[in-house]
Structure 1
Amino acid sequence: MRPDEIQRRATELGPWVNGFEYDSVTYPRDTQVAPPRVGRALPFFDVFPDATRILELGALEGADTIRLASRPGVTVVAVEGRADNLSRASFVLGLHGLTNVRLVHADVEQFDLRSLGRFDVVLCTGLLYHLQRPWDLLRSIADVSDGLFLSTHYWGDADTTFDTEGYVVKLVHEDHPEPRTRALTETTLWFDRPSLLKALTDAGFGTPQVINERVAPSVCDIVLAARRAHQTVAGEQGTSAGPA
């Protein structure tokens, strides 16, 4: 496909949350979009080098999907809650000639992940904090895989949290300026850090390996890898998620 055709089709599918790169050109051109997302595939495969069947939850426009599926021998099932995001992901995957991806349009809080089969690892990035019952998703993930690569926010201000169903959470109103990155519901619940770790344990995962973490007075970020308690994570001599 010629660059002008790519630009025309990208414009038709817009507006985009992030731009995408193809043949060293960033599309869509001449529009105000965020730069292409930095993929998480490199740290993912550092921790799970033997993963070949991957479930991606929260695929958005397919940036991470492309990087995962570009690895030889890998197949990916990518789930996304917004159909327009999946249309953009499908277009970009087609540009790259990737046929080893199945795209699924579903709300993960209403969808039975077991219907998709079992997976070596689940990649869940930018999704857990968009849910009303995030502990249920972690349990659903444990039903289909022994491995989890998780990137999420958690809440750092104890003065604004409350207890529910055994977890300490923060009620968050979804008012992000980019509506296509908001949750499918108006409000969500964010774990505090100890409750995030407790929810992982309750789902059957062992002590996670923290890959990256940013602590702040309110919105904190964490990237971690975990396996079911009877498994081990490659390179798990790295930092473990001890008490905050």
Structure 2
Amino acid sequence: MADLINFEARAPSAQTAVDVFRDRWACDLRPLLGVDGTGPNLLFTQDPRPKLAAAALGRNDYCGMHVLEIGPLEAAHTYVLEQMGAESVTCVEASAEAWLKCLVVKELLALNRSRFLHGNIVAYLHENCRHFDLVYCSGVLYHMADPVELIEAIANTADACFVWTHVYNSERHPVAFTAERVRRLGIEVDYWSHQYGSKADNYWGGIDATAAWLTSEDLLSAFASAGLSDINLIEDQPDHPNGPAILFTARKP
């Protein structure tokens, strides 16, 4: 993490808060706060995924729902979940910098129904006894060294899950990935693993040195075998610029 600003001479404002991580943000906060020095991605204002997830669950909102969000990054989807009526949002973020950014956003946007916890999501789920109505898992599974372990843990704590993730496709990933056949949840899946590069500045990946991607077929089979077998495929994105991706909901029948 780059050196933080230790002291601030200006009067307190949204700008002084976001400037703690100036030019290190992924998301654009200008539309909501009128600040500069944040990122290019319009996840706070123009990302359709929270609304698509609700619609796939047969809802127009998240009213009354207790949501567990995995890897909130900068709390963009957290903000939208609150705006759409979530009763509570519990967020678990492993990256120290991302967690601190979430706390900045929580204060600036008054996310009063959200909590941000710093740590490993798998360890949290193994120790947590709380039940959630929904796990919101966007941009996480393809960073896991053992994605099926996380899928199984999700199924043990929630009735439903929304997922957006990259998936393995041999036509798009012919060289850099190596396969390992893994038997879990009574099925066999292929872990297509690759090494991360540098974890230097602006790294937003996982905590492990490797990540294992699943094919879309193996991914959906793993959710079904874990007990979240009512699957609604929202969109297949084979031409996503960062690699093939898929978004879906999975519920207990």
TM-score range, shorter chain: 0.7 to 0.9
User: In structure 2, what is the equivalent of residue 33 of structure 1?
Assistant: 39
The separation in 2 between residues aligned to 1:197 and 1:146, in whole angstroms, is: 16
Secondary structure of the equivalent of 1:110?
A: helix
For residue 143 of structure 1, the aligned residue among 156, 174, 177 is: 156
Distance 1:3 1:71, change over 3 A: farther
What one-letter code is carried by the residue in structure 1 that aligns with 2:55? D
User: In structure 2, what is the equivalent of residue 11 of structure 1?
Assistant: 19
Distance 1:56 1:116, change over 3 A: farther
Alpha-carbon deviations, 1:63-115, whole Å to 9, x = none? 00011012335210011111221111111122222211111111123333551
| Aligned-residue CA RMSD (Å) | 2.6
Instruction: Report 1:2-81 matches (<5 A).
Output: 5-14=13-22, 15-21=24-30, 23=32, 25=34, 27=35, 29=36, 31=37, 33-37=39-43, 38-39=46-47, 40-48=49-57, 49=59, 51=62, 52-72=65-85, 74-81=87-94
Secondary structure of the equivalent of 2:104?
A: helix
For residue 85 of structure 1, the aligned residue among 98, 111, 124 is: 98
- Confirm whether residue 194 of structure 1 aligns to residue 217 of structure 2: yes
User: In structure 2, what is the equivalent of residue 97 of structure 1?
Assistant: 110
Contact persistence 1:21–1:36 (CA under 8 A)? no
Aligned residue pair count: 225
What one-letter code is carried by the residue in structure 1 that aligns with 2:193? L
Instruction: Report 1:135-174 matches (<5 A).
Output: 135-157=148-170, 161-165=179-183, 166-174=188-196
After TM superposition, the score normalised by the length of structure 1 is 0.82
Q: CA deviation at 1:226?
A: 1.1
Secondary structure of the equivalent of 1:161?
A: strand
User: In structure 1, what is the equivalent of residue 206 of structure 2?
Assistant: 183
**61-70 or 34-43, larger mean C-alpha shift:** 34-43
The separation in 1 between residues aligned to 2:109 and 2:31, in whole angstroms, is: 8
Alpha-carbon deviations, 1:185-208, whole Å to 9, x = none? 111110112211221122111141
Distance 1:94 1:4, change over 3 A: closer
The separation in 1 between residues aligned to 2:11 and 2:166, in whole angstroms, is: 37
Q: Is there any run of 5+ residues in structure 1 with no aligned partner, and where?
A: 231-244
Aligned-residue identity in percent: 22
Distance 1:54 1:3, change over 3 A: farther
- Confirm whether residue 208 of structure 1 aligns to residue 216 of structure 2: no
Secondary structure of the equivalent of 1:9?
A: helix
User: In structure 2, what is the equivalent of residue 132 of structure 1?
Assistant: 145
What one-letter code is carried by the residue in structure 2 that aligns with 1:6? A
The separation in 1 between residues aligned to 2:32 and 2:11, in whole angstroms, is: 9
Contact persistence 2:18–2:38 (CA under 8 A)? no
Contact persistence 1:132–1:189 (CA under 8 A)? yes
Secondary structure of the equivalent of 2:250?
A: strand
Contact persistence 1:114–1:144 (CA under 8 A)? no
